[in-house]
Structure 1
Amino acid sequence: MAVLVGDGVLGAASILSLPISPEGQDTITAVANFKKISAEDKAACPSLVITSVESGAQGLDLFRESASNAMKYEALWTEAGVGHINKWLRSNVLSRTEQGTTKAPVRNLIESVLRNAGAALQAAEYRDMKLSVEGGPSPLTVARLNQALAEWAQDAHEELQQQLEIAFVGEAWRQMNWWKLFWRVDDVGMLSSEMVARRFLPEAEKRLIFLAGRLQEAGVAGITAGGDKSVTYSGPAVPPLFPEGERVVATTSTETTTLETKGTWPAHIPFTRNYLQAETVPALQAMAQKLVLQSSTLAGATTALGGMSWLSGFGVYECGAIAALGIALSLRGLQTRWERARDFWEGEVREEGRKAIRATEASFAELLDSVSPEVPEDVALELEELKETKSALKRAEKALARLK
């Protein structure tokens, strides 16, 4: 805690020019000393504690002369305004507050220590990053990036599992149950495509771009033909484009059958998402329409057969049994084949997501291994210490947030 004291108008002006935030008033207070205090002075400086040391000293002298001057002493002491400072000091040194909360000076001290620790960690990372930019990535930088890549892959797998679990038990997936296909068959493509767009690794893709930026910032780059540094990642293999009407000759060369994409960050996740929406969703839509048509055809055919049997002289019960059997078989076939198709598509989405994450991780790892294939033991120990320090800092911040 600190008390800033200014004497007279110039002292008050000097204190008012200091950058004292309102949040710091629990630990820092500003006092201006005047010989005479008026109501106008207090109204003009609401952020300052206005005191008069001369009035306080005069009151003490009168009280020391005689106890009969107690009334004059009280008036002068109140006019001096020293009681406000006394109250402020006592409120910040009590062992407990009235609300049972942490004292503001203690909280500010803890926050200051945590900020300084975080700033020291950032400074260490900045120094290492600066050396990386000037002379290429250091082993410590590569080790940190490898650790960040491992954390990204773990978070991406968790996100894939959680988001797809939400998607495949959500309202959109339930709207594609087999008994709803008769009136929702045309919505299968829209619903499944929306599920893929919203739930297929959206946050992992954002963190992926951020991680690619960290690699480029750290100086992990290749040299282009023009001599400029740029980071390029191997992307998914896609079929080559041929002019319309040109005949494709089968060959064993991978250069004519596949083309590896390049980009400033790995494009496996958006490519896989587009593949699911462009290839698997239309196939699921076509399967739904085909099953509904087959089921309706079988049910209609058996119903017509029952009607013809009734016209031929069979009884109502026999004809109804024929129609009911056909309808039951058609619905059973629709249920079995549609549930199998849904399970297959669900498994395909999950597997394609895992493949996209593994391919993205391999693309990053390939670039990092080309820069520094091995990490020295001392660098690994330093990285482990920094990791433990960051973990301890996060735990301390969470503990501080839980304090009242």
Structure 2
Amino acid sequence: MPTCLASSSGLLRSSAQLHSSSTSRLGQSIHRNVRRCRTTACSVRRASTATAAPGKHEDQRAQVLTALHKTTALLPRVLPSARPSPNGVSLRESLDFWEEVLGKVYDDLTLAPEKREKDRVRVVVYGVDRRSSANELVIAILEDPFVSDEQRAILRSRWSAQSESNRMVKIQYGTSPSLDEDVIIVQSSWLQQFNVPIEITEFKHSVPSPSSDTESAKLLFTADVPIILCDPVSTPLASILPVSSDPPLPLSRENAILALLSPSPAYPATAAQHSRVSPLSSQENLHVIFVDPSRALHGLQVLADGIASPLSVQRYQDDVSGSNVASITNAVKDILSSVSGTSASAQVTAIHAQTGRALIKDALATAQAVLHKAELEANAALTATSELRGQMEEAKAKAHLEVFGAGGQDGDEIAKAVAQAKRSIKPTMDALQWYKLFWRVDDVREVVTAAVDRAWCRDLERKLVFHAGRLASLQTTFTDSANALARSFPVNSPYHSPVLHNTLARIAATPSYAVTATALTSPLHARQSQLGFPTERLHVSAQRAVVGMSGSILSGLGVAWAGWATELQMFGGMVDVGMSTETALGVGMLGTAVGVRWAVGRWEKAKRRWWKDWDRVGEGLERDLKATLTQTMDDRVVAVSEAACSALEKQVAERKVKIEELKDEVQSLRTTLDAH
């Protein structure tokens, strides 16, 4: 059975997999750097009070690396390792995606000192659709009013210089061209006003959505300042909220900016748009800004095409102010100013640490969401098994009432069948009178056995055969339901188990599984055969009675004859009974009567004993039939469904224990991260 907890690779890996994942190259490197950062931080703290700020940054970096190490060790036990697919694992819930994202965080926080000097703050501009005007927003932000024509051409033709395969372009400040074809060098004052080096990454307007492009999602999530541009007319705001998109856009981050295309602030639709996003901005600390980049470009174009007259300057100022692009600049400035540093590189590192902390929170939030889904999936599986088990219990209760009970009384049909058989046999038993035994003594066993065969619960046997057919049909229904339940889980579900499918098929293939016509009638034949011994004993009693009566009659006749012989002096007086003839005749007749009476009593007692045995067999038949029906229901009719329910319930129980353990670990990490 799969031991994982979600999707094709599962949510929960085995202990061996966990150990392998936690000791991966990334995890080992993070662990080494955590120790190095702690050592460095301790050394810095001991140095002097003049280096208090760098020491603080080192502590923050060490704390983020520590949390990163614990998170990278935990995520393999929660997230599926399968690649994202349209019908399988989503990109946001993929372990590979978060390993790449957190790997980027690790790289940012462990840069060598010489590389750290060249590090930059990453600002990413992403338009959610073609109408989002991300291209125009970048120009409106970076283009200066009196920039040279050469710089304006470089900025505005940045995509024409790129190859078709390039999906993004990076814009940096510089005075000499870049050797990297993906990097555009411009001399924009906007890039120099934040006291830290800035790099703007702009996605191509035709780039796939983050849900279908891992690289785009990775760059967007690892951005220090993600700017999401959306046109509410073409893209509903509900579709970009964290609960709707896959992966959710990084709108829950404090450093994220949501720029909504809108005309002037006085436009009537602006108030309605603001009412939709204001709850989101208040809950998630999201910077929501309404901008009109096309108006800003119009103002720049007016200033570039005309003479620098007061009218053109006024139009430029009106358009730029009305476009509200300056609010994005102010938002970026507020975000970057929230982190201080003794140098530009230290401030960039602090911003990267802040981004890393936010990404770790996102990863833990994703882990919590995956665990919640796993818990819902476990509850759904448990609900399905409970429904099937309820149907099984209902079928068992109905089977007893339908087979044995009329009007809800168990054993009524059996009692009536046994009573009917007794009434059928009674004339035969009554016909076996003592005086008929002399010529039928050798036929008692055959007569009684034949009567039992004719009368022994024939109607009940036919009813049991009929109900056996109904149970066979019910068995097929439960088998199909169990197989449907076992196969209802997708391939990437931990409840999808080929082993369980094979177990159910093996149970259904066993020879004792089929419900045959004689499945319920075996107790009838077994109990009927038990009447053979009482019948044999009755036959022996009949023989003894006949022998006893014959002996008594012969003895009485002998005594009477001996009295006559004495009286007649027969055989020369050799026979002498010592009594008169009348006395000898009386004694002989009395002995005969006593012997016959004794034999008749023994015969009647033997018949009463046979009827008692009949009653005991009838009572045992009721117990046996009910036990056989229960055993048939348990071992045949619901055997497959019972096995399916038991296996799934065991999986759910084990799975819930692991879910609770992982939820506690995730919550502990989030609490520790929030405390720092």
TM-score by length of 1: 0.46
TM-score by length of 2: 0.28
Which of structures 1 and 2 has the larger relative contact order (alpha carbons within 8 angstroms, sep 6+)?
1
